[in-house]
Structure 1
Amino acid sequence: MAEIIGVRFKNVGKIYYFDPDGKTLQQGDRVIVETARGVECGEVAVVNRDVPAEEIAQPLKKLIRVAKPEDLDRMRENAEKEKTAFDICCKKIEAHKLDMKLVEVEYTFDNSKILFYFTADGRVDFRELVKDLASVFRTRIELRQIGVRDEAKMLGGLGICGRPFCCSTFLGGFQPVSIKMAKEQNLSLNPVKISGTCGRLMCCLKYEQEAYADLLRSTPSVNSLVQTPDGRGTVISQNLLTGVLQVRLDGPDGLIKNYQARQVKVLRQGRVAVDKNELEQLKELEKN
C-alpha cells in the first residue's frame, strides 16, 4: 500500500496523486508540488489515504511543502499577470491577422512558462506569434489549441437548464456522447434542443443512458409485432419510463389501444427506420 493525496490544479480539473511525505492534509489546503511542467501550486482534493501501489503511476512524487503566504501572494500576482498577457496576446493575434480566438492565459507557478489556450477552425501557423510573444515576456511561450468543449469548461456559463455548465462545476473530464443516445432516449433530433452552448451534444445525455439502455432491453421497440390480451398488433409508440405501449391491433378497424409492456409478448422485434441524411447532418455534434 502507498499513502497518497490527490491534488487539483484547476477548478474541476483532473486530480493527480502525490506522496504527502508524512504530512496530514485537509481538503482545500494549498500545496506546492513538482509536476511534469515544473513546480506548481495546487489544491488538495483527496485527503491522505492508502491505495494499492499497483493502482498508481510510479514513481510517486513527494509533496514539497504546504503553501506559505508568499506562495499564495505569487498566485495572486500571476492571476494579474495573466489578465495583462491576455490583452497583449489579443492585440498580437490581430496584428498578425490570425484566424484564432484566445480563450485563456496561464502562468506556471514559477513563471518559467506562459501557456496561451485558443480555439480555431483549423490549423494555425502561429510561429511568428510565438516569437513576438517571447520577445515581450522574455520567457517560454506555449500555444495550445483546444476544442469547443474545453473552451466552455474554461469560460463557464449557464446551460439551457438554467444551471451552471456541468463541465465547469463538477465534470472532471468529457465522456463520449452520441446521437444514438438521443434517439434511445426518444429526444427530438433538433440540434438546438440536444446540443449545449458549446455546440456539441449535451453531456447530460450520458447521465441516464444506462437506465434507458436497460429499459430498452425489456420494452418492445416501435414496429414490433406483439401478442396482446386483445389479439395481435404492432407497436406504434412507446414510453420507456412509464412502460406504456401504444399498439395498433390487427383488423379492419385498426383499433389503437394502450398496454403495459408486461402485458404483451413480442412475436417479432421491430426496427426503427433511421434517416441517414439526418444523422450525417448531426455527426458534427458528436465531435469534441
Structure 2
Amino acid sequence: MQRFALVRVGLLRRLESYALPAELRPQAGAEVVVRSPRGLEFGTLLAEVERGPPVGDLVRIASAEDRSRRTELAERAAAELARLRAELANGPARIVALERLLDGERAVVYYSARERVDVPAFLGALRERLGVEVLLEQVGPRQRARICGGCGVCGRELCCASFLRVLRPVSIRLARLQGLGDEARRSAGACGRLKCCLRYEAPRYAEAARGLPRVGARVRTERLAGEVLAVDVLRRRVLVRPRGAAPRVVFPEEVLEESAPPPRRLPEASAEATPKPTPDEPELPAGQERGTEAPEPGWSQLAKRLWSRVNPRARRREAPPAREAEGEEPPTGP
C-alpha cells in the first residue's frame, strides 16, 4: 500500500504530499529531504496521510550533514540577496528573498512588483549574477510578510509566519463583524491587508454576538427606549440613544423589546435624463444645457475664470473685448 507524507517545504511553507518509502518511519516534526519539481529541498514532516497524488518523493530523513549544508547555503543566499538588492535597486521588481536548493544547482528568487516586469531580461540578469539556474516566483503582500516575518500590533510573531499553514482570504465582512470595518488602521496587518486573525476569530465573535441587538435597531428597557448606536461584542454592552437625551450604556439582559432596524432605501432614479426646472429657475434657450448658463453679475473674477474652465462651450462663446468699443484705436505699425 502506497504511503504519503505531508511535508512543509520552502520559505513559503507550502504543504505538499510526498511518496513515503516503505522502509522509512519518520515521526511528526522530523526534518526530511524531499525531491520536489524544483529540485532537492529541505522540509519538515507534519503527518502521514492517505491522500495523493504526490508531487515528489521523500528521499531520506535529514542527517547532520544535510543540516550543515542547509546552514551553509542559507548564509550564502543571504550575502547574495544583499548584493542583488543593491545592484538591482532601480529595477521594476523588488527582490524579497533568495533560496538556494539543497543540491546547490538551482536558486529560487521571490520577487514582488506593482508594474509589469520583463521576465526574460530580469531572469537573465539574475542568472548572470548567481551563476546557476534561477527559478522566479512572484509573491503578494501577504506572502512577502510570511517570508520576511515580524511582529504584529499584539506583540506576538506574525500568524502567517508562525503557525498558519494556509493563507485563506479575509473579507471585509469579517472586519465589520468585529466592529473594524471602517477603521483601516486597526484592521490592517503588517502586510497592509486585512489581518489573518480576523478569519479564525470570526466564529468566536459570531457566537458572542448572539442575543445582542443590531446597530440601528430600536430597543426598550425599563429605564429608556431608543436607537442602538454601537455594540461592544466582547464586553456585551450596547450604546443606546434615547430621544432627546444623551446616549446611555445598556446591557442586553435589560432589553425588554427590540425591533429590527429599518431597511435602507436607495434613492429613486429620475425618469427623465434632464431635470425639469423648478418654478424659481427660468427656462433655458433652445440648444443650451443647464449648467452652462452665464454666472451671476455679482460673481468674482476668480469664480468666472473657474466657471469658464469647467464649461468649454461657454468659453468658446466668450469673445475678447474689442478695443474699438472702449474708444481706443487699434495699434498701428511703426
TM-score between the two structures when normalised by the length of structure 2: 0.67
Q: Give 1:105 deviation, angstroms.
A: 0.3
Work out the CA distance in 2 between the residues paired with 1:11 and 1:271.
Answer: 48
Amino acid corresponding to residue 264 of structure 1 in structure 2 = L
Work out the CA distance in 1 between the residues paired with 2:9 and 2:160.
Answer: 16
Structure 2 CA distance for partners of 1:225 and 1:137, relative to 1, 3 Å: closer
Work out the CA distance in 2 between the residues paired with 1:197 and 1:257.
Answer: 34
Contact 1:223–1:271 at 8 Å: present in 2 too?
Answer: no
Q: Which structure's CA Rg is the greater one?
A: 2
Work out the CA distance in 2 between the residues paired with 1:160 and 1:255.
Answer: 31
Residue number in structure 2 paired with 1:85: 80
Structure (1 or 2) with the greater strand fraction: 1
Out of 166, 180, 193, the residue aligned to residue 187 of structure 1 is: 180
What is the CA deviation profile of residues 176-224 of structure 1, one whole-angstrom value per residue up to 9, with x for unaligned ones? 2233322221237333222222222222222321222334453221221
* Secondary structure of residue in 2 paired with 1:218: coil
Is 1:200 aligned to 2:196, yes or no?
no
Q: Give 1:82 deviation, angstroms.
A: 0.9
Work out the CA distance in 2 between the residues paired with 1:257 and 1:67.
Answer: 61
Residue number in structure 1 paired with 2:69: 74
Amino acid corresponding to residue 236 of structure 1 in structure 2 = L
* Secondary structure of residue in 2 paired with 1:208: helix
Q: Give 1:85 deviation, angstroms.
A: 2.4
Residue number in structure 1 paired with 2:159: 166
Unaligned runs of 5+ in 2: 266-334
Out of 144, 147, 151, the residue aligned to residue 151 of structure 1 is: 144
Work out the CA distance in 1 between the residues paired with 2:144 and 2:66.
Answer: 28
Amino acid corresponding to residue 259 of structure 2 in structure 1 = L
What is the CA deviation profile of residues 208-249 of structure 1, one whole-angstrom value per residue up to 9, with x for unaligned ones? 212223344532212212344467543233222343334445
Aligned length: 264
Comparing 6-15 and 143-152, the one that deviates more: 6-15
Work out the CA distance in 1 between the residues paired with 2:246 and 2:54.
Answer: 71
Structure (1 or 2) with the greater helix fraction: 1
Is 1:7 aligned to 2:2, yes or no?
no
Residue number in structure 1 paired with 2:37: 36
Is 1:224 aligned to 2:225, yes or no?
no
Q: Give 1:172 deviation, angstroms.
A: 1.6
Structure 2 CA distance for partners of 1:220 and 1:135, relative to 1, 3 Å: same
Amino acid corresponding to residue 199 of structure 2 in structure 1 = K
Q: Give 1:256 deviation, angstroms.
A: 4.9
Q: Give 1:57 deviation, angstroms.
A: 2.1
Structure 2 CA distance for partners of 1:184 and 1:125, relative to 1, 3 Å: same
Contact 1:220–1:261 at 8 Å: present in 2 too?
Answer: no
Q: Give 1:129 deviation, angstroms.
A: 3.1
Give the alignment of 1:54-133 within 5 angstroms. Answer: 56-59=51-54, 61-94=56-89, 97-133=90-126
Amino acid corresponding to residue 223 of structure 1 in structure 2 = G
Comparing 140-149 and 70-79, the one that deviates more: 70-79
Residue number in structure 2 paired with 1:19: 19
TM-score between the two structures when normalised by the length of structure 1: 0.77
Q: Give 1:103 deviation, angstroms.
A: 1.3
Q: Give 1:64 deviation, angstroms.
A: 1.9
Q: Give 1:44 deviation, angstroms.
A: 2.1
Work out the CA distance in 2 between the residues paired with 1:255 and 1:179.
Answer: 28
Work out the CA distance in 2 between the residues paired with 1:140 and 1:255.
Answer: 67
Contact 2:227–2:241 at 8 Å: present in 1 too?
Answer: yes
Unaligned runs of 5+ in 1: 274-288
Residue number in structure 2 paired with 1:268: 260
Contact 2:141–2:191 at 8 Å: present in 1 too?
Answer: yes
Work out the CA distance in 2 between the residues paired with 1:70 and 1:189.
Answer: 53
Residue number in structure 1 paired with 2:303: none
- Percent of residue pairs bearing the same amino acid type: 28
Comparing 137-146 and 101-110, the one that deviates more: 137-146
Amino acid corresponding to residue 157 of structure 1 in structure 2 = G
